Amino acid sequence: MAEDHDALEAMTRILSPHCRVTRMSGGALIADWRRTRFLALTTADLRKFADESSAERAELVTGLRRAGCAPGRRAEHSYAEVGLWLRATHLLIRTLGFGRVLRLLSLAAPDYARTDPPGERDVARLERAVRSHSRRSWLVDDDCKAEAVTAFILLRRRGLRAVLHVGVREHPFALHAWTSSGGLSIPDAAPRGHAFTPVLSIGGGGR
């Protein structure tokens, strides 16, 4: 039973938000509410989802993606792409203002489509790339707003959950922005040990 429970959880993580999986006596039933259809899996197929490294599981996931029940994973952004996005975001904030850029996020950062949580390794890799470009670029120069917005957009464009925060510190007064995802923050949520109280949090689609 524990193995079946693990298999159900593994399957749930890769399904699209509009699909639901229900344990049945002979396996599982996937309800695709967008297309109003149902897909059945045998017990043997269901248990293959518990082994995330198996080739058989990869074949099943590919089949679900072709059927529209599981979103495909977008490739990671390259180091060079992160730098281009960061510089472009910084220029946009300087041109339009931070508030207007936040209102435009629904165009550049769509709601996430994947049900699996962001991997800490993926977020950490993006964090290193953003920080590296920010410190090396005389244009960006450690701009927390550009770093946070860039991280939010790139994570969302890969279908991952991310939340952009804008926080305030009273003594001395200061504002700070950061994006949280997978248990990490880009940039640091408490730079130099100074905590900021969130006054605005954007969870997706610019909302």
Closest Cα to residue 40, out of 23, 55, 56?
A: 23
Domain finish residue from 13, 35, 66:
66
Range of the domain at 61: 2-66
User: What pLDDT sits at residue 188?
Assistant: 93
Do 32 and 92 belong to one domain? no
Residue 207 within any structural domain of the chain? no
User: What pLDDT sits at residue 205?
Assistant: 42
User: What pLDDT sits at residue 52?
Assistant: 63
CA-to-CA separations, 70 to 42, 44, 118, in angstroms, rounded: 18, 19, 16
User: What pLDDT sits at residue 11?
Assistant: 78
Residue 114 DSSP one-character state: -
Do 84 and 141 belong to one domain? yes
Residue 157 within any structural domain of the chain? yes
Q: How confident is the model at residue 26 (pLDDT cuts 50, 70, 90)?
A: confident
User: What pLDDT sits at residue 115?
Assistant: 61
User: What pLDDT sits at residue 206?
Assistant: 40
Domain finish residue from 30, 45, 66:
66
Longest Cα–Cα distance of the chain, Å, equals 63
Chain centroid to Cα 75, Å, comes to 12
Percent of the chain whose pLDDT exceeds 70: 90
Instruction: Identify the top-confidence range among 6-10, 37-41, 139-143.
Output: 37-41
51 has pLDDT over 80: no
- On average, the pLDDT of the chain sits at 84
Do 112 and 198 belong to one domain? yes
Do 105 and 40 belong to one domain? no
47 has pLDDT over 70: yes
Residue with the bigger pLDDT between 1 and 40: it is 40
User: What pLDDT sits at residue 45?
Assistant: 82
Instruction: Identify the top-confidence range among 36-50, 99-113, 129-143, 179-193.
Output: 179-193
Give the count of domains, the chain: 2
Residue with the bigger pLDDT between 50 and 152: it is 152
User: What pLDDT sits at residue 92?
Assistant: 92
Do 105 and 26 belong to one domain? no
Residue with the bigger pLDDT between 50 and 90: it is 90
Cα–Cα distance measured from residue 162 to residue 159, given in angstroms and rounded to the nearest whole number = 9
> In terms of pTM, does the model score above 0.75?
no
| Alpha-helix residue ranges (DSSP H) falling in the chain | 2-14, 43-48, 55-66, 79-96, 98-103, 105-108, 120-136, 144-157
Residue with the bigger pLDDT between 118 and 182: it is 182
User: What pLDDT sits at residue 55?
Assistant: 79
